[in-house]
Amino acid sequence: MGRKVLVVTVLLTVAVAYYVYKPLPDAIEKPWKLMMLDAIFRSMMHLGFMKEYLVLSHYISSVRSSVESIEGFTTSSESREGVIPGVKFTDTTFAGVPVRVYEPPAGGEGHLRRGLMYLHGGGWAFGSGKGGAYDSISHRISDELNCVVVSVDYRLYPAVHFPEPFLDCFAAAKHFLSPEVLARYAIDPERVAVSGDSAGGNLAAAVAQEISADDGVQVKFSVQALIYPALQALDFNTPSYVQNQNMAVLSRHTMVMFWLQYLNGDLSLLPQVIANNHSASRQSALTAELRSRVDWTVLLPPKFRKNHSPLVVEKGSQEILKKVPGLLDTRAVPLLAEAAVLAKCPRAYILTCEYDVLRDDGLMYAQRLRDVGVSVSLEHLEDGFHGAFSFITWPMDFEVGKRAVRSYITWLQNNL
């Protein structure tokens, strides 16, 4: 009997190790911790898909519940060290959109303060600016920069699809930038930023473009700070998508799934989209000018192009762009914006990570902005991975995440 128990124990241990283990680049700090985080995320997704298959709940609801449980654990004891007691926060609405407003500790009366609107990441399906690392970082920004931070809880999939999340953020931004609101919070109208990470970086870039081009908005954002933003959905075979297609936290498959969910596309299209069949050379909707805006062979520095070759499908599927028109809508894919629109955008801080499928999106956007005369500060983390910006509190802390947050706050200190 004891021998059987031992055999079963060994087999279970091997099975768990096999599930958890994922080859990672040598540059990754604490690889086993990242493997465990990735395994936890995959387990939550698999459990969610199982519940959806059994018609118990949508997989998103299951994953959100699991994430909230983890955040409840990490926001106790040591993880609260990033929360500043003097910072006051208020939950309210801007143009009907739920937001949390963080105001710095009392002091410096008579002086105008900085303002920053933050849009959280999470694949347009998960997350909240009120929880986890986002709450901690907003507290720090408010305290260290004497800044009023507005964290937006835009609507998420599956309740809504594009363009609703963008419209929520745009409406909240216009409200925030109104002279009346800026005066209410004693914010300097020449020192207001928009920022976000991942899907939130996508929304921040899109909102920055729309605000810059909207003549009806008197006050504009003075800077945009984008953390590994998702900016295009035409080429899922850029060097970073190929290099990091099976990377922990965010694989290519998962990112394409997030895009299709956001744009209300059928998930059955996923294999075709990964194969770039939606951006085939015979696609009449894709002009040479449009293609040039996502041409990584021109926009990426040689260091990142390496020995990769572009995947250009000749025929592909003519129907995908018709079924998913958001693939060409610049409010969803800011990298496709015209040069004239980009030229009006505020100066930018863009953070990219080497081991991230979205690396090249940020690098290409930085180059396109520079090409039209916009000042860009590019921070590239050679040992960074997607999500690192949020992994700053125990037990999910990584030094690269803490460096990323420090770099981000320092740039805002010097440029906002």
Annotated catalytic residues are 198, 356, 386
Which has the closest alpha carbon to 321: 364, 236, 263?
A: 263
Token pair of 102 as six digits: 């963080």
For residues 108 and 64, what is the distance between their CA atoms, to the nearest angstrom?
40
For residues 346 and 375, what is the distance between their CA atoms, to the nearest angstrom?
8
For residues 251 and 229, what is the distance between their CA atoms, to the nearest angstrom?
15
H-type helices in 21-131, by residue range? 31-53, 59-74
Token pair of 345 as six digits: 């955008």
For residues 320 and 206, what is the distance between their CA atoms, to the nearest angstrom?
23
The 10 Å Cβ neighbour count of residue 218 is 10
Q: In what order do the strands lie in the sheet with 347-355?
A: 88-94, 97-103, 147-152, 113-119, 187-197, 223-227, 347-355, 376-385
Contacts of 97 (CB under 8 A, 6+ apart): 152, 153, 154, 168, 169, 171, 172, 175
Q: What is the 3-state secondary structure (H, E, C) of 350-408?
A: EEEEEECCCHHHHHHHHHHHHHCCCCEEEEEEEEEECCHHHCCCCCCCCHHHHHHHHHH
* Residue 91 identity: D
